[in-house]
A and B are shown apart, each in its own frame.
Chain A
Amino acid sequence: MATVIKDLNMNFDGYHALKNINLTINDGEFVAILGPSGCGKTTLLRLLAGFLKPTGGVIKIDNSVVADSKKITSPNKRNIGMVFQSYALWPHMTVKQQVTFPMQHSIFSKYKTQKNREERTDAVLKLVNMQAMGDRYPSELSGGQKQRVAIARALANEPDLLLMDEPLSNLDAQLKIEMRREISNLHKNVGGTVLYVTHDQSEALGMADKIVVMSQGEIQQIGTPKEIFYNPVNPFVARFVGQSNLIRGSWDGNEFTYGEGEKITDYEVNDSFKAENLYPVKADGLEIVGQNESHFRGIVKEVEFQGFQNKIILEMQDNNHLQVFGAADEEIRQGEMYGVRIKKRKNMEI
């Protein structure tokens, strides 16, 4: 049941929205597409759904071509479910009617009799905890409830592929976290393949088996949440996903010089960082020392107590801001100058 995207391109009247996208979504996987607004996520989703015809490349579902630059299979002939960003609930139908709709009209429907459909509707509504609201209209539901109905409608027909376009972006923070957990659980319980589009890295990291990071119509990196977080392949991914500090300096082979002559040797930094003379390091990969113990110095702007640790923001002498975690009992005073050193990892100097 794998979905394979090969050399996919999309051009809107001269604007190149997607450039050579290659991606395989395996059966049962939860894949998140992560990228800033405007990078082409929705476009990719609409191509998969069949609302757009690509200008180049092919999309294959289950080994049969559903779209290339000449011909596309229309959305109602692909067994797909979709949760729209705006929910797209029909204002003139009750919750039950919305959920039953795909079972009545899809050519892939496995629920042929009225009774089957009613049972399935009840089951799906129960799954999303909406069984009590079956006779309500969308205008009588809250944001989170609408969201659940949209998900129920998309799941009703057991689609081969479930597409979700920033489904949580219209919800408030509390509800967001709740629904995030529910969608994860749903995926674990129901199975099925999910393609989940978001611009929120915490959603992607928390829910997905595989993350695809995009920027300006191009895929930057594909990997598991851990890979993406700990081993970003370029500065964009490091900044957008990893919340990394990017220290400015200069590379010479595997040796990085920063501050006023501080040096470190690291064999595992990707060439794309070296090209921009940057060194990626997380907040916990740095340590604060006395101002005479390092040639890389800055003034502490903010100390935020976070329980087990302190989060410290420094303004370095090159005007760059750094985030560093320090032990909770260590006393760091705001407004004073300190030195900063990159901690050595175990495998660094071989």
Chain B
Amino acid sequence: MSENKIRRYIKYAVGTAFVFLLFLWPLLNMFSEAFIAKDEGFTFAYFANVLSDAGFAKVITNTLLINICSMVSAGIVGVFLAYVMAYTDIAFKNILHKLLLIPLFIPSYIVTLAWMQLCMKNGLLYQLTHFELYSYKGIILMFTVCQYPIVYLMCLSHFRRIPRELEQAAVVSGCGRVKAFFKVVLPITKITIVNAMLLVFLSCLDNFGIVAFIGIPANINVLSTDIYKTIVSSTKDSYNIAAVKGIVLSVLAVIMMLATQWLSGNNKAENCEKEDMEPRIMLGKWKFVLAGVMSCFIGMFNIFPLIKLVSSALTKGQGVKLSLKTMCFDNFFKVLRNVKSMNGIKNSIFLALMAVLLCTVIGITISYLSEYKKDRIASGIQAVVTFPYSIPGIILGLAMILTYAGSFHGFTIYGTIWILLLSYVIRFTAVSLRYANSAFAQLDTSMDEAAQISGANNYVKWKKVIIPLSIGTISAGMGLVMIYSMMELTTSSLLWSGGTETIGVVIFNFTSAGLSNMASAYSSIIMIGVCAVAVLLKVIDKSVRTIRRR
């Protein structure tokens, strides 16, 4: 073996060990907790306990019921919207498309908070419809409102890729539009739709904000809230019980994950590589009518609740109607003077920046080695790093507590901000990695080969070709990690402590304490801040693009 090779192997051994300890160890640790009692050693007692508990059975049926209903309803809404947006010449398409994506950028707990304001018992909506938000229906509605963009986006792209001749052939053969949709478009898109719906299911499993804000007061428990309650109940073996429940949740999540992977691997539909952006159905005058109807719905579901959120932040007491007389900024001042809420903003920004930095560096390194250099060990590491992303955040939180609660040679990271950072890195490296992968996948190897053939060495190749060509996609991933970390709630709700609140935790605490006006004011401030940052990023992105492509 040459010295080079040995050095390479050492590097890999260290890298693998590092990744394993960082990403997998806490989870394994938690799994073992389910089987190990303090005094007796290995035991199945906790398992037996939990599985024979009627309350837990109820939790499981609740979870399945809610998630399946949500996934179906998000599926129907998403497919319908995608079809309209992909194929018709509906007016104001670009604006409508952007408005449809609003729920992607606003965390579900803020959306839920907004709906809580909207559905107050003395509000107009309740008096008209008697819609009870704190119910199964309410939770399913919230999930649908927050998750349909997943289905919408995946189907939109798929619909546009279906060669228009396929549909035309059906029409020529005598099908009407509707029949052509059910006979041709839907069967071709079937796998993508199912896949998107499974992703919705996974996302619902992972969700904490909605089920905590609406489910807990309504006493509807699902897996994530049940585990949360078990952990914070702090009885003698609450961690062990929570670990057992965590295993059940993980198994469910992993099954779903494998199903989506299997489905996308088997997706053999022959489609165009490029999206065909031209409309295929001309609506004539109806395009304005349809746009009108669509904007009413968007207004009702995506925008009005947010307006309600801001307006309730502007009133003093809960449920007071906003008018010029009742309007005051007290809540905003209170929030801005509150040490905890300011801490939340500071901490979240710090955590987000650090997480972006670390996730990107780790993600690019692994992706380059495995995708570009086709290194097998790196591909294995890639699988390890993506695993925690498919595990619901509440479980990661529990795993972190169990692993880092004690001190390690005098170091304790539990109770500090570092444990939050660590868990964000564990959760979101997968996102950076995915974007780096797609950046390297888009980068045709001939780009890099052309550079080598032209005599460029490694350094020049990276500096002049690879980085300039992949920075766009990689920075999109950075933006996403940034948003995710800023808005994280699930893991943080378990790992925060006095002084290390995050934005999500502050809103959660205000809401749990019944201070929903304060929570609204705080959320409004955050939303305005996020909008400002988003606009700024957009401007930077635009100018970078124009500089690069002139």
**A-to-B contact residues, CB < 8 Å:** 49-51, 74-76, 80-82, 84, 86, 88-92, 101-102, 105-109, 137, 139, 153-154, 157
Chain B residues near A92 (CB-CB < 8 A): 468-469, 548-549
Q: Are B449 and A86 neighbours in the complex by a CB distance under 8 Å?
A: no
Q: Is B451 an interface residue (CB 8 A)?
A: yes
Contact of B447 among A51, A81, A90 (CB under 8 A): A90
Q: Is B550 an interface residue (CB 8 A)?
A: yes
Interface size band for B: 20 to 34
Chain A residues near B444 (CB-CB < 8 A): 86, 88
- C-alpha gap A106/B454 in the complex (Å): 6
Contact of A88 among B449, B456, B548, B550 (CB under 8 A): B449
Using a Cβ cutoff of 8 Å, how many contacts connect chains A and B? 70
With A49-B449, A51-B449, A137-B549 as contacts: A90 and B465 at CB distance below 8 Å = yes
- C-alpha gap A88/B457 in the complex (Å): 18
Closest chain A residue, CB of each to CB of B446: A88
Most central of B444, B454, B465, B548 by chain A CB within 10 Å: B454
Q: Are B450 and A90 neighbours in the complex by a CB distance under 8 Å?
A: yes
Smallest distance from the beta carbon of B186 to chain A beta carbons, Å? 35
Most central of A76, A80, A82 by chain B CB within 10 Å: A76
Supply 12 A–B pairs (Cβ within 8 Å), ascending by A: A50-B452, A51-B449, A76-B455, A82-B449, A82-B450, A84-B450, A86-B446, A88-B450, A90-B447, A105-B451, A107-B455, A153-B450
With A86-B444, A88-B444, A88-B447 as contacts: A76 and B453 at CB distance below 8 Å = yes
Most central of A74, A92, A106 by chain B CB within 10 Å: A92
Q: Are A105 and B455 neighbours in the complex by a CB distance under 8 Å?
A: yes
Q: Are A90 and B460 neighbours in the complex by a CB distance under 8 Å?
A: no
Q: Is B464 an interface residue (CB 8 A)?
A: yes
Q: Are A106 and B455 neighbours in the complex by a CB distance under 8 Å?
A: yes
The 9 closest A-B CB pairs, nearest first, are A106-B455, A102-B454, A88-B446, A75-B452, A88-B450, A105-B456, A82-B453, A76-B455, A105-B455
Chain A residues near B446 (CB-CB < 8 A): 84, 86, 88
Closest chain A residue, CB of each to CB of B465: A90
Chain B residues near A137 (CB-CB < 8 A): 549-550
Chain A residues near B447 (CB-CB < 8 A): 88, 90
With A84-B449, A92-B549 as contacts: A105 and B454 at CB distance below 8 Å = yes
Chain B residues near A153 (CB-CB < 8 A): 450, 454
Chain A residues near B457 (CB-CB < 8 A): 76, 105
- C-alpha gap A49/B455 in the complex (Å): 12
Q: Are B449 and A101 neighbours in the complex by a CB distance under 8 Å?
A: no
With A86-B444, A86-B446, A101-B464 as contacts: A91 and B453 at CB distance below 8 Å = no
- Interface flags, B419-451, vs A, CB<8A=1, else 0: 000000000000000000000000010110111
Chain A residues near B450 (CB-CB < 8 A): 82, 84, 88-90, 153
Closest chain A residue, CB of each to CB of B450: A88
Closest chain B residue, CB of each to CB of A77: B455
Smallest distance from the beta carbon of A239 to chain B beta carbons, Å? 31
Chain A residues near B469 (CB-CB < 8 A): 90-92
With A105-B456, A109-B455, A157-B454 as contacts: A91 and B449 at CB distance below 8 Å = no
Chain B residues near A74 (CB-CB < 8 A): 452
Chain B residues near A90 (CB-CB < 8 A): 447, 450-451, 465, 469
- C-alpha gap A75/B452 in the complex (Å): 6
